[in-house]
Structure 1
Amino acid sequence: MNEHWSIGDLAKASGVTIRTLYYYDEIGLVGASERTASGHRRYTADDVRRLYRVRALTQLGLSLEDVARVLARGTSDLAALRDLLHAQLADLEVRARQVNELSRRVQGLVAQLDGETMPEPARFLETLELTAQLYGGLSAEQRDALAERRAELGDDTVDAMRSEWLTIFRELKGHLAAGTPADDPEVGALATRWQRIAASLRTGRLHIDRQVEASSEAMWARHGDRIGRHLSDQVDWLEPGDMAAIVAYLQRARS
């Protein structure tokens, strides 16, 4: 209980960057309870427990504003910490099921390739979709809501949406190659079809849909090039760099 950590030591031990710790201090989320005579921060055991709560809550999908409201109700209550850990365990169990499902799908792709058969693009898209859910920063609540919506739509409908998605992107690539302006009515019609598909996949829960959209945009910003390269390896009419160009073209058409 008498241990103390400098900001550098805490960053190294927790995996949280020094910049993030400074930001948490700035917004009043996690601060150092003590200072040295020269003014350097010293984090206490209570500060470490608070940091754990903050990181666990953000991993469950709460915004920093929501985290602050939760912590304002008290951080030393054993029951509250127990509830948080139960929620974290539930989230990990969901992720474990998704890892098993993702493993099963990748094994299926490998089996097809071992049999000298190229899997259909839809199989790769299904795997990418699950990968995005697992690594795209979605909370358990968001993943469950998306799963419920897909179950409501049914496998046939979801497969038809994936097929139409590929058709739309192929037609957009044709217009882009032909130099068709983004505000052309035909391109606008394709953008409208794309928006209808996106709208059909929404859960109807506004806060979840906004969070999922933000997570998807962030994932594309971070990994768009890698996703595009992966798809170009599997879809014969896609070349490296096509996806980024098509997405940018679609965004111009939507605006």
Structure 2
Amino acid sequence: MDVIGKDDAGRRWSIGEIARASGMTVRALRHYDEIGLLSADERTASGHRRYTERDVRRLYRVRALRALGLSLEEIASVLADSEGDLAAMRDLLTAQLRGLEAHAVRIQQLTHRLHGLLEQIDGALMPDPDQFMTTLEMISVFETSFTTEQREQLARRRTELGSEAVEAAKTEWAGLVEELLRHVQDGTPVDDPQVRALVGRWDTLASGFHSDGEDGERTKAAAQRTWEENSEEIGRGLPWPVDRMRDLVHYLERARQAG
């Protein structure tokens, strides 16, 4: 192959090979070339584009930054400042990894719900339409109540905790709900030492799912608003009556104010 370029060593890729590997169209790659975002370093004697290892690394940066939500203009600016910068590449890979991990957690949550629906189908039962609606509503509530950044923060925190710790927290939380509901039913004063201890455990458990500092406080506030505005929808996915859970939340608020 007659290749004219800067480097004599290393593999070269045609535009078709790059398109197939990256999942992009040849047309899109040509557009990147036209706007100066990704120009093939070399050409054959007949004028065909040939991409070098440096071009592949640049394309990776472009694709990763697009996945992180940057516009083509913003990407061009970022690349102008960080071309060949090892530290910048590390930051980019770290940000992309966090995004993928957060996405993986969301997929895992949805997978768990779908497994539940499939188990009913395998048992020769058609899931109740309400179950489908609950799944749809929960997805919608989560996506509209938290910003993308907050969803990623929550997902990262769950990943950091690990699946075993998350499951243990769920079990502990269910036990706290049962104990506190009994106090609500019995009319135990909110300043009762036993109640205050339970509320302290509740708040500590909940805080574990949020980041430290201001970011964590914002996601806590968003979670509280989510319940206040969507308690009916959220309650359908819980094993306790919605009215009793609303009473419990009010009871917790009174206990915190009294504390």
Which residue is equivalent to 2:16? 8
Which one-letter code corresponds to 1:22 in the other structure?
A: R
8 Å contact kept, 1:34–1:42:
yes
- Residue 164 of structure 2 is aligned to residue 153 of structure 1: no
User: How far apart are residue 141 of structure 1 and its match?
Assistant: 2.8
User: How far apart are residue 42 of structure 1 and its match?
Assistant: 1.2
User: How far apart are residue 74 of structure 1 and its match?
Assistant: 2.4
Which residue is equivalent to 1:33? 41
Which residue is equivalent to 1:118? 128
TM-score by length of 1: 0.53
Report the 3-state secondary structure (helix = DSSP H, G, I; strand = E; otherwise coil) of the residue aligned with 1:31.
Answer: coil
Query: Matches of 2:226 and 2:150 in 1, distance apart?
Result: 18
Structure 2 spans left out of the alignment, 5+ residues? 1-8, 156-218, 235-259
2:113 counterpart (87, 105, 117): 105
Report the 3-state secondary structure (helix = DSSP H, G, I; strand = E; otherwise coil) of the residue aligned with 1:154.
Answer: helix
Which residue is equivalent to 2:176? none
Q: Count residues with an aligned counterpart.
A: 158
Call closer, same or farther: CA 1:23–1:143 in 2, change over 3 Å. farther
Which residue is equivalent to 1:237? none
Which residue is equivalent to 2:75? 67
Query: Matches of 2:12 and 2:141 in 1, distance apart?
Result: 41
Question: Larger Rg: 1 or 2?
Answer: 2
Structure 1 spans left out of the alignment, 5+ residues? 134-138, 163-255
Call closer, same or farther: CA 1:49–1:91 in 2, change over 3 Å. same
8 Å contact kept, 2:40–2:51:
yes
Call closer, same or farther: CA 1:119–1:146 in 2, change over 3 Å. farther
Call closer, same or farther: CA 1:124–1:16 in 2, change over 3 Å. same
Which residue is equivalent to 2:206? none
Matches within 5 A, 1:62-101: 62-101=70-109
Query: Matches of 2:120 and 2:141 in 1, distance apart?
Result: 19
Sequence identity (%): 50
Call closer, same or farther: CA 1:57–1:117 in 2, change over 3 Å. closer
Which residue is equivalent to 1:231? none
- Residue 42 of structure 2 is aligned to residue 45 of structure 1: no
Deviations 1:95-149 (A, max 9, x none): 111111111222233455656551415313236538989xxxxx96374489947
Matches within 5 A, 1:244-255: none
Root-mean-square deviation over aligned CA pairs: 3.3
Query: Matches of 2:142 and 2:36 in 1, distance apart?
Result: 34
Which one-letter code corresponds to 1:118 in the other structure?
A: D
Deviating above 2 A after TM superposition, structure 1's stretches of 4 or more consecutive aligned residues are 107-117, 126-133, 139-150, 158-162
Which one-letter code corresponds to 2:63 in the other structure?
A: R
